[in-house]
Amino acid sequence: MVEVSTSILSVKKGEESKTFFALEKAKTDYFHIDVMDGNFVEKDTYQKMLEYSSYIKRISNLPLDVHLMVNDIKKAVDDFIAVDPNIITFHLEACKNEEEVFENIKYIKENNCKVGISVKPNTNIEEVYKYLPYIHMCLVMTVEPGKGGQNYLSEMTEKVSRLKKYIDENNIEIDIEVDGGINLRTAEEVKKAGANILVAGTAILNAVDYKVIIDELKS
C-alpha cells in the first residue's frame, strides 16, 4: 500500500508549528526532512532542518524520513541520529566508490536506523542494484535535487518501472520512494510504475485540506 511522506522544505516562515500540527492531524505517514549542505546542492537547510526535526519530535510520534543531500554523510548521520529518524537516505553520487557506499550503509545501521540510497535523475538506476539487498529503501529523485516546487521529470516513470521489475525478479524486499513534483496527476503514473512511498511538498503544503490531498495521493 502507498504511503505519503510530506516534505517540510517549503513550509511557510512563521507558520512552522501550525503546519507541523496540521500535518500530524492529517496523518502524513512520514515527515520528509530535506537536509541540504550548500555543497552537494546549492541551498543550505542543514541547521533549519535540525531545528525542525527536533521540534517535530517533541510534538509528534510520526516517523522522520531524512533525505541527506550532503557530501559529508557521516557528519550528517551523527547530527541527525540525535532526532531519532525512522530512516536516513544518502545520495549515491556523494560517495566516491563502492567501499564508501557500503561503509555508509553499515554506519547508519550501526546507529540503529534504517538506510536508504537516493539517485539523481541522470544516474542510471542499474548503479544502485548491487546495494539493494542491504538497504530498506531506494529513493528515485523525480526532479534535480536542491529545491521544492519543480516539475516532475516524466522520463523518471520508466526508471521507476525498471527498478520495480528488477526488485520483483530478484525477490528483494525494498521500498521505492519517489521525490519531486509529485501531485495528484503525477502520483498516478508513478504509483502504476511501482513506487510505494510518495514524497510531496508543494502539492500538500499548498492544499487547503492536508488530509484530503494526502488521502487522494494514497488512493
Find the shortest distance in angstroms from Cβ 179 to ligand DX5: 5
Q: Does 179 bind Zn ion (CB under 5 A)?
A: yes
Q: Does 65 bind ligand DX5 (CB under 6 A)?
A: no
Return the residue of 4, 9, 33, 49 that touches ligand DX5, per CB under 6 A. Answer: 9
Q: Does 34 participate in catalysis according to the annotation?
A: yes
Q: Does 67 bind Zn ion (CB under 5 A)?
A: yes
If the CB atoms of residues 66 and 77 are measured against ligand DX5, the closer one turns out to be 66
- Residue 202 binds which entry of ligand DX5, Zn ion, none, CB below 5-8 Å type-dependent: ligand DX5
Q: Does 190 bind ligand DX5 (CB under 6 A)?
A: no
CA distances from 164 to 32, 156, 197, 210 (A): 22, 12, 13, 29
Choose the catalytic residue: 34, 37, 65, 79.
Answer: 34
Return the residue of 29, 34, 65, 79 that touches Zn ion, per CB under 5 A. Answer: 34
How many other CB atoms are there within 10 angstroms of residue 209's CB atom? 11
Q: What is the chain's length?
A: 219
- Window of 81-89, 109-117, 122-130, 200-208 that interacts with ligand DX5 by CB under 6 A: 200-208
Q: Spell out, one character per residue from 135 to 154, where the chain touches ligand DX5: x when CB under 6 A holds, - when not.
A: --------x-xxxxxx----
Q: Does 179 participate in catalysis according to the annotation?
A: yes
- In terms of C-beta density within 10 A (0-12 exposed, 13-18 middle, 19 or more buried), how is residue 162 classed? middle
CA–CA dist 42, 24 (Å, integer)? 30
CA distances from 132 to 38, 126, 146, 171, 190 (A): 28, 10, 24, 11, 20
Beta strands in the chain (DSSP E): 3-7, 30-36, 64-69, 87-91, 114-119, 137-141, 175-179, 197-200
Of 198, 197, 187, 138, the residue nearest 165 (C-alpha):
138
If the CB atoms of residues 163 and 204 are measured against ligand DX5, the closer one turns out to be 204
Find the shortest distance in angstroms from Cβ 158 to ligand DX5: 19
How many other CB atoms are there within 10 angstroms of residue 1's CB atom? 5
Return the residue of 180, 186, 191, 210 that touches ligand DX5, per CB under 6 A. Answer: 180
Interface contacts to Zn ion, rule CB under 5 A: 34, 67, 179
Catalytic residues: 34, 179
Which chain residues interact with ligand DX5 by CB under 6 A? Answer: 7, 9-10, 32, 34, 67, 69, 143, 145-150, 179-182, 199-203
